[in-house]
Amino acid sequence: MTATPRSPHDGVYDVAVIGGGIVGAAIARELSGCDVSVALLEARDDVGDGTSKANTAILHTGFDAKPGTLESRLVARGYHLLNAYAEATGIPVEHTGAVLVAWNEEELEALPGLKEKAEANGYTRCRIVDADEVYAALPDLGEGVLGGLTVPDESIICTWTTNLALATDARQRGTTILLKHAVTGVEEGTEATTLHTAAGEVRARWVVNAAGLGSDHIDRLFGHDRFTVTPRRGELFVFDKLTRPLVNKIVLPVPTSRGKGVLISPTIYGNVMLGPTAEDLTDRTDTATSEDGYAFLLSKGERLMPRLLAEEVTASYAGLRAAIDRSDYLIEASPEQRYLLVGGIRSTGLTAGIAIAEHVRGLLEKAGLPLRTREELPAPPRMPDIGEATLRPYQDGDLIARDPAYGTVVCFCERVTEGEIRDACHAPLPARTLEGLRRRTRAMNGRCQGFFCGAAVTALLEQHHTDDGCRSQHKDNR
């Protein structure tokens, strides 16, 4: 069962959600499960193309959040919600567990406090271990480990598929997804607010601001001056799949006031990741990697796991986090304006997204928006599993027998097939660009970074964009 977009009454949506990242998509999904019309506005040409696409992709238990904060509550709740949602939709998850590693006496002495913090957050499965036990779990760590704290339920997840699943689910529930709709102005009226965007006006009775890096700008358009976003660049190295046997758990540093520091983690795609850095910038579009970032990561990696640095780096990339001058999420409703802010959502927003959406719904209802759950909703979408730990299409003989396109490998580094590329172009939210295709299939995401397969992948993308089915999907989502 798939819903069509719910038409706004008199050209006015009941709710407009600004921002098509994980949090915005989760909110649109939650609200479109109610008897209201919802529009999801995204400034870029695809959902999940901003902060949500470039993070450490860890599904957090919330063990190290500040107890008593909104963030700690929503991360803990979101961990269980997202685990269940991943199982229902096929989002790749691996429950690897994590070890917080102490490299000096100060960090070792901090471990009991971190264990107590975890227990204050309701997570009781942490255990302090000695150096021998750390090395038994991670024998390739560098010399000098003094002890550790185990966090057995920390996991890795596909952030790309999470965002796409939530947005697809929202669309199937009736949300109208409006891409290339960067909000440039706000005009508040008695009955509705008019959002001026790069693609025309959008009118809505209520507005939810989940714009991430741009959330403070949108907030000021509504007349507020509550916070300022500082783009914090995090650079990462991705190592070749041959390194995966070195790292079967997430290796976490003892956190500082500036962040969780540099970690080593397996990825859902079979690689190993080192990072991130934490550099405050002024340019909210600067996702370039830097020489200083490289040097910093190399120095950290040399200490953490020297053997890893002897292996090949497949890719390096940078993401921007929306840091603010507060230690907690900033989620507040302004009932008189029929406006709600969702700001200061750090990297934990990946885990907390569905719980944030629940919280937003409650605040909107309290602020005066009637939200009645619809009796019949479509089943959650079943997403392509692009993780490395499960059976991939090129390995599935029965699938290939039914459709030989799944046996025609196009991207050899990542083993992506013609059938997967075709499917991504004809999905409810189709790939429109090579980057969109990469996030849906892993094509060109491997060792050669598209050098070998780029022309063939581009040709397939262009071929399927000429199909009537793909064109109709474009029309639905303008």
CB-CB contact of 317 with 238 (8 Å): yes
Q: What was the pLDDT predicted at 5?
A: 58
Mean pLDDT of 316-341: 94
List pLDDT tens digits, range 194-220.
Answer: 999 999 999 999 999 999 999 999 999
Distance CA 335, CA 356 (A): 18
Report field, pTM of the whole predicted structure over 0.85: yes
Q: Which two tokens stand for residue 276?
A: 């991130």
Predicted local confidence at residue 473, as pLDDT = 39
pLDDT at 477 over 50: no
Predicted confidence (pLDDT) at residue 39 exceeds the cutoff of 60 = yes
469 — pLDDT class (breaks 50, 70, 90): very low
In the predicted structure, residue 164 carries a pLDDT above the cut 70 = yes
